[in-house]
Amino acid sequence: MSAHTIKILEDCVRDVLHDTPAVIRMRPIPTGKFNDSYYVDADDRQFVLRVAPAPDAVFLFYEKDMMQQEPELHALILEHTDAPVAPIVAFDDSRERIDSDFIVMERLPGAPISDAGFYDRDAVLRGVGESLAQVHAITRDRYGYLGAHAPMEPQASWNDAFQDMWRRLVEDIVSVAHYDRYEATQMIELLDRNMGCFDRDVPASLLHMDVWAQNILVDNGRLSGLVDWDRAVWGDPEIEFAVLDYCGISEPAFWEGYGTRRDESDAAGIRRVFYLLYEIQKYIVIRQGRGGDTAGAAGYKDQAMQIIRSCFG
């Protein structure tokens, strides 16, 4: 990070804080994957600055401007739950100071479990379960990505929302040339043929959708933060569980904390496959579109196709 860049970001922080700190020190947060993130020491206070990617980056359909939904989500979670979420100090989407959105929030104590050394894993996962159960109890009357970034039309049912999300994701993969038109049609028809397994009423629950080792903070061995809510969606908690499966979080201690038994029916098993595929396929776009990693993107496509062959023949 150049001295010029540091000065620009320091000025951004000074501009949005109500009182101007005498001294600001910044250092990059190495775990950030999508946004550029920084620890900020402003006199005797500690913050986190997150800067969204440039507007011309390659995005999944729900990623463009998704930081815009975070202020509302953090406020909701802080009001209705005990989940350890950071208060947001300022959000700027004017792009007058820099050409990207940025957000300043209070720094939560601790470090990601990927970097934390010793901690009581069961206690932490129970805490994650308890927190997500409270967050999932926050509901709305529409489904899908409902934030200020507005990547899709809100839907009256989860079935309609997930079909729309699936189709948009498939088109994103077409756009980076890893599905041709025939493959895209096959993927859409595969979900259409199995929509009977989704035919049930579910609440439009608030879902994090990115709970993994780097987004779980621990301090003194205990859960101290759940971070990076910008990918949140409103819908079926089972799709959250599929992400937790993929990221190795849905261990027995998590379910103890969550307090509700998982649906193990045959229909739930089919839904779980599609929710897992939704999670895996996003990495095709991320690897190819943002990293130029053709081999990595092809690997995720192969993984998705192997799951489909194994489950659907």
pLDDT digits (tens, 9 = 90+) for 224-276: 999 999 999 999 999 999 999 999 999 999 999 999 999 999 999 999 999 99
Is-contact 189 224, C-beta < 8 A?
Answer: no
Are residues 79 and 146 part of one domain? Answer: no
Based on the fold, state whether residues 102 and 125 are members of the same structural domain.
Answer: no
Q: What is the pLDDT of residue 3?
A: 61
Please give the C-alpha separations between residue 230 and each of 20, 88, 131, 192, 207, in angstroms, as whole numbers.
28, 13, 17, 28, 10
In degrees to the nearest 10, what's the CA dihedral of 215, 290, 160, 67? 50
Q: Are 54 and 100 in contact (CB under 8 A)?
A: yes
Both 198 and 295 in one domain: the answer is yes
pLDDT at 20: 73
What per-residue confidence (pLDDT) applies to 180? 97
Asked if the structure places residue 112 within a domain, the reply is: no
Query: The domain spanning residue 54 has which CATH number?
Result: 3.30.200.20
pLDDT confidence of residue 303? 97
Question: Tens digits of per-residue pLDDT, 34-71?
Answer: 899 999 998 888 999 999 998 888 999 999 999 999 99
Are 44 and 128 members of one domain?
Answer: no
Within this chain, do residues 302 and 159 fall inside the same structural domain, yes or no?
A: yes
Average pLDDT by stretches of 10, the chain with 313 residues:
68 78 83 86 90 91 96 98 96 90 94 88 97 98 97 98 98 97 98 96 97 95 95 98 96 97 96 98 95 96 97 90
Domain that holds residue 29: 3-107
Task: Mark whether 74 and 20 lie in a shared domain.
Answer: yes
Looking at residue 273, its pLDDT comes to 98
DSSP, res 198:
G
Query: Number of helices (H) and strands (E), helices first, in the chain?
Result: 9, 11
